[in-house]
Structure 1
């Protein structure tokens, strides 16, 4: 397998990814200005292009989005801003009066070698519930995605090695 650089500001995330890729992942912490777009694929594609311009070698980047059906798929890729602004309780308060609280958490990993983009998508489908615990407990969907990240990244590794162009994960029911 060729050497790939994984770009993230989260050292725990890097450690997890590096273990899954058998120690063949290089870590780079690069402060990027992220574009604002409702399209998560545009967000990761832009990140990958910008990192490649700096490093001039194959890169792996990822991002997460949350799609709330009752809010016309808002906040999407803006979830990090939303959590830092109003927190899990605020998100729950936005949807608590809706009958349907269906949501999808999507993790998109983008591989870019300077010529070709490969996107890998993993979805977790569920519903927003009231945050629990002394620290708000976070969003249940977000927690479930983090628990499934290892399986998803192993899948990305297999597909990256087999040179698959674009693949989509299965929805994981967590009701």
Structure 2
């Protein structure tokens, strides 16, 4: 496989993916595009449609990433709708869970590869909980509110290297790279 592009509208995601991609035989090519996202509660649908839309814009082999934050107390909401949810509520997400109730949550990250002929989806996930309040400034959007299982700090409090090791993104990128031989 030749060059592979990663498409995202978020600079921090482009930087994180470039960091996670290091050490391979070919460099990752970041491509900053604002790709429309379908609003769906089905994460596979969202990531597939996002990859198709990105391919139609760029016409190069690429992959996109989309995640979902599934909060137990909210019956799995917001799931893949985490971006619009975040835009409206931001740090108030923490206060949606009353004291004494389960703060359990899990993150699912999906990567979808598209080259115009092939569409492949890869999945990574991590268990954790929602912090009582925002902690840290690292990561993107909701990461300063998510504490991975087995840790005491939010993803937002962790240095990039640690955050990427603890995130669902690391797992999904490993699966994707293994499958395509990079």
TM-score when normalising by structure 1: 0.77
Q: How many residues align?
A: 161
Partner of 2:82: 79
Partner of 2:3: 3
Does the 8 Å contact 2:136/2:144 carry over to 1?
A: no
Distance in 1 (alpha carbons) for counterparts of 2:136 and 2:126? 25
Instruction: Describe the shift of the 1:20–1:103 C-alpha distance in structure 2 as closer, same or farther (beyond 3 A).
Output: farther
Q: Do the aligned residues in 1 keep the contact of 2:135 with 2:145 (CA within 8 Å)? A: no
Q: 1:147-166 counterparts in 2 under 5 A? A: 147-148=165-166, 149-161=169-181
Gaps of 5+ in 2: 148-153
Counterparts of 1:21 and 1:41, CA distance in 2: 27
Retained in 1: the 8 A contact 2:125–2:171? Answer: no
Structure-1 separation of matches of 2:100 and 2:51: 37
Taking the aligned partners of 1:20 and 1:151, their CA distance within structure 2 comes to: 16
**Structure 1 residue 29 displacement after superposition:** 1.1
TM-score normalized with structure 2 length: 0.75
List gaps (5 residues or longer) in structure 1: 163-175
Matching of residue 128 in structure 1 with residue 148 in structure 2: no
1:106 Cα deviation from its structure 2 partner? 0.9
